[in-house]
A and B are shown apart, each in its own frame.
Chain A
Amino acid sequence: MKLIFEKSVPGRGMDYLPQCDVEAVALPAGLVRDVAPRLPELSETDISRHYTELNKNVHGVNCGFYPLGSCTMKYNPRIDEEMAALPGFTGVHPLAPAHTTAGCREVLDTARTLLCEITGMDDMTFQPAAGAHGEFTGVLLIKQYHEARGDSKRNKIIVPDSAHGTNPATAAMCGYTIVNIPSAPNGCVDLEALKKVLGEDTAGLMLTNPNTVGIFDENILEITRLVHEAGGLCYYDGANLNAVMGVVRPGDMGFDCIHLNLHKTFATPHGGGGPGSGAVGCKARLAAYLPGSAMMDGAGHIQVRSFAGNFLVVVKAMTYILSLGREGIPEAAQNAVLNANYLQAKIKGTFEPAFDRICMHEFVLDLSRFKKETGVSALDVAKTLIDYGMHPPTMYFPLIVHEALMLEPTETESRDTLDWAAEVFRKLYDLAHEDPAYMHDSPHNAQIGRPDEVRAARNPVLRWKG
Chain B
Amino acid sequence: MASYIPSTRDERLEMLKTVGVESYRDLYRDVPQEMYLDRGLNIPAGLSELEVSRKVSAMAAKNRVFPTVLRGAGAYDHYIPSIVKYIPAKEEFLTAYTPYQAEMSQGILQSIFEYQTCICELTGMDVSNASVYDGATAAAEAAAMCRDRKRRVTLISGAAHPDTVNTVRTYCYGTGDELRIIPVKDGRTDLDALKEMLKPDVASVILQQPNFYGQFEEADAIGALAHGNGSLYIMSCNPMALAIMKTPRACGADIAVGEGQPLGMPLSYGGPYLGFMAATEKLMRKLPGRIVGETVDSRGERAYVLSLQAREQHIRREKASSNICSNQALCALTAGLYMAAMGPGGMAQAASQSMSKAHYLATELCKLPGVSLKYTGAYFHEFVTVLPKAEEVLSALEAQGILGGLPVGDGILWCATEKVSREELDRAVAIVKEVLGA
Say whether B390 faces chain A, with CB atoms less than 8 Å apart: no
25 contacting pairs across A/B (C-beta < 8 A): A4-B340, A15-B346, A21-B422, A27-B355, A33-B242, A37-B121, A52-B90, A57-B105, A58-B105, A59-B96, A60-B91, A73-B97, A93-B269, A95-B74, A95-B406, A272-B330, A295-B73, A306-B161, A311-B269, A311-B271, A323-B1, A451-B102, A451-B305, A456-B305, A464-B113
In the complex formed, the residue of B with least CB distance to A132 is: B323
Give the A interface residue count (CB, 8 A): 201
The interface residues of chain B lying within 8 Å CB-to-CB of A76 are 94-95
Distance of A345 Cα from B57 Cα, bound (Å): 43
> What per-residue 1/0 map shows which CB atoms of A307-323 lie under 8 Å from chain B?
11111110100110111
Please determine whether A91 and B101 come into contact, CB atoms closer than 8 angstroms.
no
Cβ of B27 under 8 Å from chain A: yes
Are A178 and B318 in contact, CB atoms less than 8 angstroms apart?
yes
B110 touches A3 (CB 8 A): yes
Q: Which residues of B contact A322 (CB under 8 A)?
A: 44, 46-47, 52, 55-56
In the complex, whether B372 has a CB less than 8 A from a CB of chain A is: no
- CB neighbours (8 Å) of B331 from chain A are 271, 274-275
Contact with A along B25-69 (1 / 0, CB 8 A): 011111110111100111111110100110111011111111001
The answer to the question of B185 belonging to the interface, with a C-beta cut-off of 8 Å to chain A, is no
Question: B327 touching A87 by the CB < 8 A rule?
Answer: no
In the complex, A252 Cα to B38 Cα: how many Å?
A: 12
Partner of B347, one of A37, A267, A307: A37
Q: Please encode chain A, from 207 to 247, with 1 for each CB lying within 8 Å of some chain B CB and 0 for all others.
A: 00000000111101100000000000000000000001011
The stretch of B190-198, B199-207, B223-231, B244-252 in contact with A is: B244-252
Inter-chain contact A412/B92, CB cutoff 8 Å: no
Q: How far is the CA of A41 from the CA of B8 in the complex (A)?
A: 52
Residues of chain B lying within 8 A (CB to CB) of residue A450: 103, 297-298
Partner of A172, one of B3, B71, B100, B320: B320
Give me 12 other A-B pairs in contact (C-beta within 8 A), A47-B341, A133-B324, A449-B297 excluded: A20-B357, A36-B243, A83-B56, A88-B60, A220-B32, A220-B35, A270-B329, A328-B1, A329-B41, A462-B113, A463-B126, A463-B127
B residues in contact with A57, CB < 8 Å: 104-107, 110
Q: Which of A165, A327, A414 contacts B7 (CB 8 A)?
A: A414
Known: A47-B340, A329-B41. A136 touches B59 (CB 8 A): no
In the complex, the chain A residue whose C-beta lies closest to that of B170 is A302
Given contacts A311-B270, A449-B298, contact A173 B98 (CB under 8 A): no
- Select which of A39, A173, A175, A312 is within 8 A of B344 by beta carbon: A39
Question: Given the complex, which residues of B lie within 8 Å of A332, measured CB to CB?
Answer: 3-5
When the two chains form their complex, are residues B269 and A101 in contact, meaning their CB atoms are under 8 A apart? yes
Against B, the Cβ 8 Å flags (1 = close, 0 = not) of A43-65 are 01001101111111111111100
CB–CB B128/A463 < 8 A:
yes
Instruction: Give the one of B34, B269, B320, B394 with max A CB within 10 A.
Output: B269
Complexed CA–CA distance, A85 and B53 (Å): 12
Residues in B with CB closer than 8 Å to A305 are: 133-134, 136-137, 163, 167, 271
Q: Which are the 6 A-B pairs with shortest beta-carbon distances?
A: A325-B46, A88-B60, A307-B270, A271-B330, A449-B298, A273-B329
Cβ-based interface call for B280 (8 A): no
For the complex, give the distance between the alpha carbons of A36 and B16 in Å.
64
Cβ of A253 within 8 Å of any chain B Cβ, yes or no, is: yes
With a CB–CB cut-off of 8 A, which chain B residues contact A178?
317-318
Measured CA separation A318–B341 after assembly (Å): 33
Binds B, one of A192-200, A334-342, A370-378, A423-431: A334-342
Q: Tell me if B389 counts as interface (CB < 8 A to partner A).
A: no
Partner of B173, one of A54, A96, A302: A302
Interface string of A172-200 (1 = CB under 8 A from B): 11110010000000000000000000000
Write the nearest CB–CB distance from A349 to chain B, whole angstroms: 13
Nearest residue in A to B90 (C-beta to C-beta)? Answer: A55
Q: Which residue of B lies closest to A15 (CB)?
A: B346
| B87 shortest CB reach to chain A, Å | 5
CB closest residue in chain B, given A62:
B91
Q: Are B110 and A293 in contact (CB under 8 A)?
A: no
B296 within 8 A of A: yes
Query: Across the interface, do B104 and A386 meet the contact criterion of CB distance under 8 Å?
Result: yes
CB B369 to nearest CB in A, in angstroms, measures 22
A437 within 8 A of B: no
Q: Is the CB of A451 within 8 A of B108?
A: no
What does the 1/0 interface line of B1-22 toward A look like (CB < 8 Å)? 1111111000110111011110
B235 lies within 8 A of chain A by Cβ: no
| A331-B103 CB under 8 A given contacts A273-B97, A303-B163 | no
B370 in the interface (beta carbon within 8 A) = no
| Chain A residues with CB below 8 A from B318, complex form | 168-169, 171-172, 178
- Highest count of chain A CB atoms <10 Å: which of B126, B350, B353: B353
- Asked whether A34 lies within 8 Å of B250 as measured between CB atoms, the reply is yes
Distance of B277 from chain A, by nearest CB (Å): 12
Q: Is the CB of B296 within 8 A of A95?
A: no
B188 part of interface (Cβ distance < 8 Å): no
Is the CB–CB distance between A79 and B53 below 8 Å?
Answer: yes
**Alpha-carbon distance between A27 and B330 when the two chains are bound, in angstroms:** 32
